[in-house]
């Protein structure tokens, strides 16, 4: 089994919030003495530790923006209709932005920590355990693509569009900051520890077989294209020291389902949410969790008004995770008022607290 940082898992429910999440308001542009930011505040209706979620701000610093570029970003922002993003999809709603750099900034923030990016994160934590070099991880991009279940073409290469997408994922994990606070008891005083972290930091990368006319300035731009190999640092590795890490089975399935958009990867959403609950609830060896059904639906991004469809997707996902051994038992029980709870027993052979 391999360890994943406990603090990271505790903030995942809000860090992965989609634009459709009622606790995830639309992105804002903010400027202060520290610079310019594009940010999105998630879980503001949560009350910190009280309901087992941490409010979080995910933001992209725009340190290298000139005043002219900042004004252009403000103009593009004013044209966006975030309601259309929910109804038509993010890609379609952003396609009219002419500046590709600005388009990618919005894309990175709005789709941050989608199930594919979470799968990449788990892959890197597993690799860190294998390499035994602390938070530093070295990997080849082709190995990552294969681990995610993508196949090579007849020429032995991966599709350029796919490589571009994975590059955008790595850049988003690098440049999108997560800002959150934890309460600290200091005698009669109550203090707050505010943390600012990215999922990872790209330290270096190698691009092989450069053509003679290749511009080295492009090579220095980590957003340009997927490199052949990377050296990154996991920023949440032993991030706080006070949260028990979680152990995941080595064979956790991170393969992307073919011909399906990552937003439908409900299994990955369910696995990571259950992992967060094991941390929050300090689950004992039986690993039995009791979770309100609406909260499960929210964290699976099941926000539609079609209750029958949402219910079908939820129980189908539960059944799939039972077949794969992650869930031992799951059934509906009475909750407060008319809100039902779901009792789920998680298999400790697949996911468990590291101190058990």
CB distance 223 to 104 below 8 Å: yes
In a domain, residue 153? The reply is yes
Token pair in block for residue 90 = 């993010």
In a domain, residue 57? The reply is no
pLDDT band at 156 (very low <50, low <70, confident <90, very high): confident
In a domain, residue 221? The reply is yes
pLDDT in tens, 17-33: 877 776 667 889 998 88
Angle at 343 between CA 342 and CA 344, to 5 degrees: 110
Q: Is the pLDDT confidence value at 51 over 70?
A: no
pLDDT band at 241 (very low <50, low <70, confident <90, very high): low
pLDDT in tens, 243-260: 789 999 999 989 887 665
- Full-model pTM: 0.91
pLDDT band at 204 (very low <50, low <70, confident <90, very high): very high
Angle at 255 between CA 317 and CA 343, to 5 degrees: 25
Question: CA 16 to CA 24: how far, in whole Å?
Answer: 10
Q: Is the pLDDT confidence value at 215 over 80?
A: no
Domain ranges, residue 12: 2-16+112-257
DSSP track, 222-274: TTSS--SEEEEEETTTT-SSSS--EEE-TT---PPPTTS-GGG-HHHHHHHHH
Over range 207-218, report the average pLDDT: 72
Please state the domain count of the chain.
1
Question: CA 126 to CA 309: how far, in whole Å?
Answer: 34
pLDDT band at 233 (very low <50, low <70, confident <90, very high): very high
In a domain, residue 10? The reply is yes
In a domain, residue 277? The reply is no
In a domain, residue 352? The reply is no
In a domain, residue 126? The reply is yes
In a domain, residue 73? The reply is no
Q: Is the pLDDT confidence value at 131 over 90?
A: yes
């Amino acid at each position: 089994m391999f360890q994943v940082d406990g603090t990271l898992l505790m903030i995942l429910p809000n860090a992965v919030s989609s634009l459709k999440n009622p606790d995830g308001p639309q992105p804002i542009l903010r400027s202060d003495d520290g610079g310019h930011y594009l940010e999105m505040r998630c879980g503001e209706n949560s009350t910190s530790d009280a309901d087992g979620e941490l409010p979080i701000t995910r933001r992209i610093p725009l340190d290298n923006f000139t005043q002219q570029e900042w004004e252009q970003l403000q103009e593009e922002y004013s044209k966006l209709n975030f309601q259309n993003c929910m109804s038509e999809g993010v890609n379609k709603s952003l396609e009219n932005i002419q500046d590709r750099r600005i388009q990618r900034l919005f894309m990175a923030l709005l789709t941050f920590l989608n199930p594919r990016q979470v799968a990449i994160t788990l892959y890197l934590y597993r690799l860190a355990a294998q390499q035994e070099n602390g938070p530093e991880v070295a990997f080849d991009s082709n190995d990552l693509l294969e681990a995610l279940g993508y196949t090579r073409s007849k020429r032995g290469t991966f599709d350029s569009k796919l490589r571009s997408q994975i590059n955008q994922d790595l850049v988003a994990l690098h440049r999108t900051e997560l800002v959150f606070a934890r309460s600290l008891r200091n005698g009669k005083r109550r203090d707050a520890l505010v943390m600012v972290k990215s999922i990872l930091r790209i330290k270096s990368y190698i691009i092989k077989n450069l053509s003679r006319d290749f511009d080295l300035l492009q090579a220095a731009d980590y957003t340009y294209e997927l490199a052949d190999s990377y050296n990154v640092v996991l920023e949440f590795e032993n991030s706080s020291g006070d949260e028990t890490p979680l152990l995941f089975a080595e064979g956790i399935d991170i393969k992307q389902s073919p011909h399906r958009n990552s937003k439908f990867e409900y299994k990955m959403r369910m696995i990571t949410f259950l992992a967060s609950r094991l941390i929050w609830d300090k689950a004992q060896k039986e690993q039995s969790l009791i979770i309100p059904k609406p909260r499960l639906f929210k964290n699976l991004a099941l926000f539609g008004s079609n209750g029958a469809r949402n219910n079908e997707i939820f129980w189908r996902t539960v059944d799939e995770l039972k077949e794969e051994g992650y869930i031992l038992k799951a059934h509906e029980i009475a909750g407060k008022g008319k809100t039902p709870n779901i009792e789920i027993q998680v298999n400790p052979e697949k996911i468990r607290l590291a101190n058990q």
